Amino acid sequence: MQLVYAKWRAIQWTLEKSILERCFCRNLAITFISDFLRKYAKSKKLYVFVGLNTFVMPLKCYNHARMNEQARTLRLGMAQLDVTVGDFSGNLDKMLHVLDEARRLNVGLVVFPELAICGYPPEDLLLKPQFIERNLQYLDKLVQASSGLSVIAGYVESGDYLYNAAAIICDGKHIGTYRKIFLSNYGVFDEDRYFKPGSECPVYVIDGVVVGINICDDIWQVDGPARMQAHAGAEVILNISASPYHYGRMKERIARLVSQALDNVAIVAYNNMVGGQDELVFDGGSIVLSEKGEILACGQQFAEDFIVVDIDLEAVAQARVGDSAWNQGCDMATVWPVRQVIVSQQSDNIDKPAVPPRNVVEYAIDAEIYNALVLGTRDYIYKNGFKKVVLGLSGGVDSSLVASVAVDALGKENVIGVSMPSRFSSEGSKTDALLLAHNLGIKLISLPIENTFKSYLDSLCDVFGDAGTDTTEENIQARIRGNFVMALSNKFGWLVLPTGNKSEMATGYATLYGDMAGGFAILKDVPKTLVYKLVAYRNACAGYDIIPQSVIDKPPSAELRFNQRDSDNLPPYDVLDQVLKAYVEEDKSVEQMVNMGLDEDVVRQAARLVDRSEYKRRQSPPGIKITTRAFGRDRRLPITNKFNGNG
């Protein structure tokens, strides 16, 4: 006879209350029940339900005759979707397509990401009653389409308050709702502005399996909902999420999820959104882990995916019986009320189609970042109704990388380069721009700015007098170029892609209404040193120097005066980027950075440039977040302030 944790049954055999009251903790109850069942092992089968201190523990006793039955499994399908905020019809169409596929594969439970109905993050659209109502209308449409299936989907629950919620649906009925408890309110997130946190930790019996459902940040808490649900009998902890990308994020997630699987002796299934939404990229990478922390299945990064996996529940039951540490945790205090809701009983053991084989590509860090830029660019352009983009091709490394990403995202026929040489442009830069356009197969327009530049200088001559030349004349050239690409944008409906990188945005080494002009800044969160790594990655993928080696080898220069170099105004990028990472992304002080071994003069110069350039960044276009802290909603500083971060 084997004692295991198992599913709920409609018929349950319960012990007398007086006996249970003599058990002061769950472990004593388990010992007592085990002895009791051994004594009565001759019965064909016994179903036991034990409730202690608001916890729920389902138990099942098999006699020797039932030991050879097929192991209890759940076929889980996680739909990793690229949804769009406010596109209720389009989002639902994707979900209905998944439901059709789930029926074909006889999936027991279909899961959609956090706020999949309305898209994430909806921000102040949540303040519009008509947005909330539309969200509820389309949830109803999903419910009506769920015939024969159990479904979990993220939506906005409405009442006296708004909740970030998960709907539990079965066979055309909305059975229950889980409300997110730990609201995301840091970095790019503002959930406290809109939502009220949930206050319950229900578990649901779905297809005969006890499932704990929670949302995004709930799974990151050590003593959070996952633990409560596991000790309330949940064999599977299912988390729906909309977790945006930054490099290294995938490893962080896996480490947290493995810890939850091991600590709770439970299957952990994590379903993440995928796709670009403004400056955020959701990278997918959904994953299912065994109770031992082993990967059972995972979703592709940066692509829609439907992950179907058969989960063995008997392994969880056996592991829990032998895990004394887990059993001791059963007596932990209840933070949130726990209740159990029966959604559906175990389906009949019918033959199921084979689970489709999976071939998931694992990305190295440079490949991961590059794919994030491609996905973020593609979704921003197409979701906002644009078809083509235009950018200035200077022959430099930044514009070369932007052009390459744009081609990979949109196709070469939808990318237009513009060469705008001046008297200060080197011959190498001109030929490099031509060669790059040829290698990428994109159209290149030539618009020299010399005559326009002369006209500006002539018009301003009397006003400037003998003031001499300085950055004013440099910025005039940048603004002429900005005007040219914006004119093409207005005339043909092309979106302008500025080419500045994070190092330049941080230090203000960019011209307002000049090289900062545009609609979407692909490299806004990409430091200069990382630009070179991504160029090397792209060339390695091509198998040749699709971005010419001469572009990589030349010293960085804006070419706005004779023999100009970036190093004339900035520290070397390999040093500068270390300072910027510490100061911008990690909030380290000047003293801390000096103690890290960084040169004090360089640190103070960089900090001063960052602090005084906030007004410029506030006027820059959105760009793709790929670091732990990007400029924009990730880092919100007042323009007007007297705090001196330079010490």
Q: Per mean pLDDT, which range of 112-121, 316-325, 586-595 is the poorest?
A: 316-325
- How many angstroms separate the CA atoms of 198 and 520, rounded? 37
Residue 5 has pLDDT above 90, yes or no: no
Locate 580 and state its tokens: 């910027």
- How many angstroms separate the CA atoms of 638 and 466, rounded? 37
Residue 95 has pLDDT above 80, yes or no: yes
| One-character DSSP codes across 469-528 | -SHHHHHHHHHHHHHHHHHHHHHH-PEE-----HHHHHHT-S-TTTTT-SS-BTTTT--H
User: What was the pLDDT predicted at 53?
Assistant: 31
* Average pLDDT over the chain, rounded to an integer: 86
Cβ contact 246:625 at 8 Å: yes
Candidates 170, 216, 298, 330; catalytic one: 216
Cβ contact 492:455 at 8 Å: no
Question: Which pLDDT band, with edges at 50, 70 and 90, does 634 fall under?
Answer: confident
Task: Output the pTM of the full model.
Answer: 0.87
Over range 419-437, report the average pLDDT. Answer: 92
Residue 101 has pLDDT above 90, yes or no: yes
Question: Which pLDDT band, with edges at 50, 70 and 90, does 46 fall under?
Answer: very low
Over range 477-499, report the average pLDDT. Answer: 96
Locate 290 and state its tokens: 């065994």
Burial class (CB within 10 angstroms; exposed 0-12, middle 13-18, buried 19+) of 587: exposed
341: helix, coil or strand? strand
User: What was the pLDDT predicted at 323?
Assistant: 76
User: What was the pLDDT predicted at 364?
Assistant: 93
Cβ contact 272:285 at 8 Å: yes
Q: Would residue 173 show up in a list of annotated catalytic residues for this protein?
A: no
Over range 284-288, report the average pLDDT. Answer: 96
Q: Per mean pLDDT, which range of 50-64, 163-177, 228-242, 523-537 is the poorest?
A: 50-64
Q: Would residue 600 show up in a list of annotated catalytic residues for this protein?
A: no
Output the CA torsion sign for 86, 89, 92, 93: negative
- Residue-wise pLDDT for 152-163, tens only, equals 999 999 989 999
342: which strand partners? 205
- Residue-wise pLDDT for 544-565, tens only, equals 999 999 999 999 888 788 888 8
Locate 530 and state its tokens: 């990382």
Residue for token digits 């093409």? 488
Over range 485-489, report the average pLDDT. Answer: 97
Q: CB 641: neighbour CB atoms within 10 A? A: 10
The candidate with the shortest Cα–Cα distance to 3, out of 38, 42, 51, 49, is: 38
User: What was the pLDDT predicted at 186?
Assistant: 83
Locate 199 and state its tokens: 């206050």
Sheet hosting strand 209-215, strand order edge to edge: 295-298, 287-289, 267-272, 236-241, 209-215, 203-206, 340-342
Cβ contact 59:89 at 8 Å: no
Question: Which pLDDT band, with edges at 50, 70 and 90, does 626 fall under?
Answer: very high
Question: Which pLDDT band, with edges at 50, 70 and 90, does 428 fall under?
Answer: confident
User: What was the pLDDT predicted at 70?
Assistant: 53
Question: Which pLDDT band, with edges at 50, 70 and 90, does 21 fall under?
Answer: very low
The rounded percent of the chain whose pLDDT value lies above 90 is 72
Residue for token digits 């120097």? 545
Over range 82-110, report the average pLDDT. Answer: 96
The candidate with the shortest Cα–Cα distance to 549, out of 535, 563, 561, is: 535
Residue 625 has pLDDT above 60, yes or no: yes
Question: Which pLDDT band, with edges at 50, 70 and 90, does 333 fall under?
Answer: low
Higher-confidence residue of 33 and 168: namely: 168
User: What was the pLDDT predicted at 43?
Assistant: 38
The dihedrals phi and psi of 281, each to the nearest 5 degrees, come to -120, 125
- Residue-wise pLDDT for 449-458, tens only, equals 999 999 999 9
Question: Which pLDDT band, with edges at 50, 70 and 90, does 8 fall under?
Answer: very low
Candidates 114, 279, 368, 504; catalytic one: 114
- How many angstroms separate the CA atoms of 122 and 85, rounded? 6
Q: Would residue 581 show up in a list of annotated catalytic residues for this protein?
A: no
The span from the first CA to the last CA of the chain, in angstroms, equals: 72
Question: Which pLDDT band, with edges at 50, 70 and 90, does 647 fall under?
Answer: low
Higher-confidence residue of 222 and 456: namely: 456
User: What was the pLDDT predicted at 118?
Assistant: 97
Over range 472-487, report the average pLDDT. Answer: 95
Residue 97 has pLDDT above 90, yes or no: yes
Spatial neighbors of 514 by CB under 8 A, at least 6 apart, are 475, 477, 478, 479, 481, 482
Question: Which pLDDT band, with edges at 50, 70 and 90, does 368 fall under?
Answer: very high
User: What was the pLDDT predicted at 108?
Assistant: 92
User: What was the pLDDT predicted at 566?
Assistant: 82
The rounded percent of the chain whose pLDDT value lies above 70 is 87
The dihedrals phi and psi of 287, each to the nearest 5 degrees, come to -150, 145
Locate 111 and state its tokens: 């899961």
- Residue-wise pLDDT for 36-45, tens only, equals 444 443 333 3
Residue 13 has pLDDT above 50, yes or no: no
- Residue-wise pLDDT for 636-645, tens only, equals 888 888 887 7
User: What was the pLDDT predicted at 532?
Assistant: 97
User: What was the pLDDT predicted at 485?
Assistant: 97
Question: Which pLDDT band, with edges at 50, 70 and 90, does 332 fall under?
Answer: low
- How many angstroms separate the CA atoms of 200 and 336, rounded? 5
